Structure 1
Amino acid sequence: MVKQVELVRGDMRFPALMCGDGEPVLLLHGFPDCHQNWAPQLHALAAAGYCAVAPAMRGYAPSCLALDGDYSLRAAAEDICGFAAQLGGAVHLVGHDWGAAVGYLAAARSPELFSSLTALAIPPIKRLPKAVLRVPEQLLLSAYMEFFQLPLVPEWTLRRDNLSGIEWLWRRWSPGWDGGEALANARRTLAQPGVLTAALNWYRHLPRFWTPAHKEARRWMARSIEVPTLVMLGRKDGCMSPRLLEHTVNERDFLAGVQVETVADAGHFLHLERPERINSLLLSHLAASPPLR
């Protein structure tokens, strides 16, 4: 049974879904998505004996808007480390899109809190900036990121015609797949007051190289990952080219090992497009990564 709960960080209250009992698994969503769309994984993890928790990420609900305007990766990673500590540590970490990027940082920052890391749709970020320059099509695929850093215009573009821009992104990033109810969930989430701007502010913080938050996140990014790691990308991903894996996966960066899977007939939202395949790979990875207490 899925329960609605809250995780708390200072004055921010993060709505979350929880299912099952056992070792904790944190599920982190990305953009343009929402925590409700982890339902296939919540049920599979609970059935396998885990306690799965899927929180809204910073800014993705009115109750967890950052009053100080901080949507840096440092702040997001600290949220996740805070959640893991509240759950008692030894947490399995699973992230998609932005959630995967934050997962890499959180695992590098505080490896003692995590038993494993699973990253969906985002290659290892330590070598990603240089890898993008070696995969020419990624420069085109990533053009939206610079657009999202503009003031006001991205909000207007995505909001018009009942958030049709969100649907366009889903169709582009997962070609040939109908998002159905999952897309409807994402649109409802991003239609809440303040949420779309908060979600875009994650992108607007990226070029703030001069800030202490950016510098600290870069230090974490440069570290090796000390927990067993699984990286999964869809072969039809229209957001992140699978060719990036050739230039970002280096076994020396993963002290407890790394497994890479490319998933056929799946795009960017691979956990929703191919839930049975993703759940099988995820559960095998978690079973091979027991909690270190």
Structure 2
Amino acid sequence: MEIRTVHANGMEFAYLTMGEGPLALCLHGFPDTAHTWRHLMPALAERGYRAVAPFMRGYAPSEIPADAAYEGDALAADALALHAELGGDEAAVLIGHDWGTFPVYAVADRFRSAVSMAVPPTAALLAGFLRYEQLKRSFYVFLFQTGLAESAAAGPGFLEGLWRDWSPGYDASQDLAHVRQSIGEPANLAAAIGYYRAMLGTTPPSGRHPAAGTATTTPILYLHGVQDGCLDPELVKDAPQHLPKGSRATLVPGAGHFLHLEQPAEVNGLILDWLGPAS
């Protein structure tokens, strides 16, 4: 697996890549890195795709954006710019986990096929977000709106606790080592938290990234772990009505929030079946 860089949407992105063929763009979430795709990328390459996993904006070794833009439109614009700069065409596919799903729901129409994991479409997310049980799970979202956010997230055991709660029983030591390399510096950690501040409007939209436009009509495979401790699997019940026609929502047994790491064989199989052969 190689690491390279590309200039897209006004900033420098570092990315992991392997394989040859149509682009398979894989977008990670929080608190995670491009290394989260270490099980899926070889499977995509073997199927005939060129798997590319960028470190999202603000996650080292990608640049911290000069405009401090972390709203959904910025993430969608990144996906489109990466598609263009990496030579993506009509055969390209898009896969996102956690924050990486926001571009999937916005710009999947620019790709042949798409997969999202662990975060349902916004309408389904909002429908369950204010339920008491989900509010308890989402304490960190509200903490991240405060001035205590960076100190708390940098404190001993905080990130470890999120991984432990979100994916019970999974050994995240390798992933956490990558996370600390990527957002261990204060500026990178503040960037990662900036996604949440933009989400709830604590920081206003930059206005520098045009809106993605109307909702996608490309069918999406949506996967969610049965034991997800971050977002209640009950949200999956509302997901199908907010997904494009022809989409599918599937619960993955024995997996939590980081389902592609916990049950890689199962998740890889579901994704590859959905994407079909590279063309």
TM-score of the pair, normalised by structure 2:
0.91
Check conservation: 2:74, 2:209, Cα contact below 8 A: no
Aligned partner letter, 2:225: G
Q: Note the alpha carbon deviations across 1:102-131, whole angstroms, 9 max, x for none.
A: 321232xxx1x2111100101122332133
Task: Flag the structure with higher helix content.
Answer: 1
Match of 2:74 in 1: 75
How far is 1:243 from its partner?
A: 0.5
Is structure 2 residue 53 aligned with structure 1 residue 60?
no
Is structure 2 residue 235 aligned with structure 1 residue 234?
no
Q: Note the alpha carbon deviations across 1:171-227, whole angstroms, 9 max, x for none.
A: 01011211131222122211135211100011111232864749975x74xx44221
Note closer, same or farther for the CA distance 1:236–1:3 as it changes in structure 2 (3 Å cut).
same
Match of 2:135 in 1: 139
After superposition, residues 107-126 of structure 1 pair within 5 angstroms as 107=108, 111=109, 113-126=110-123
How far is 1:278 from its partner?
A: 0.6
Secondary structure at the counterpart of residue 266 of structure 1: coil
How far is 1:136 from its partner?
A: 3.7
Secondary structure at the counterpart of residue 155 of structure 2: helix
Check conservation: 1:27, 1:94, Cα contact below 8 A: yes
Is structure 2 residue 164 aligned with structure 1 residue 171?
yes
After superposition, residues 191-202 of structure 1 pair within 5 angstroms as 191-192=184-185, 194-202=187-195
Secondary structure at the counterpart of residue 112 of structure 2: strand
Aligned partner letter, 2:44: L
Give, in whole Å, the separation in 2 of the partners of 1:19 and 1:212: 34
Note closer, same or farther for the CA distance 1:65–1:211 as it changes in structure 2 (3 Å cut).
closer
After superposition, residues 85-104 of structure 1 pair within 5 angstroms as 85-86=84-85, 87-90=87-90, 91-104=92-105
Q: 1:272 aligns with which of 261, 265, 274?
A: 261
Question: Structure 1: any 5+ residue segments left out of the alignment?
Answer: none
How far is 1:156 from its partner?
A: 0.9
Match of 1:286 in 2: 275
Match of 1:154 in 2: 149
% identity of equivalent residues:
37
Q: Provide the aligned C-alpha RMSD in A.
A: 2.2
Give, in whole Å, the separation in 1 of the partners of 2:191 and 2:35: 18
Question: Structure 2: any 5+ residue segments left out of the alignment?
Answer: none
Aligned partner letter, 2:142: E
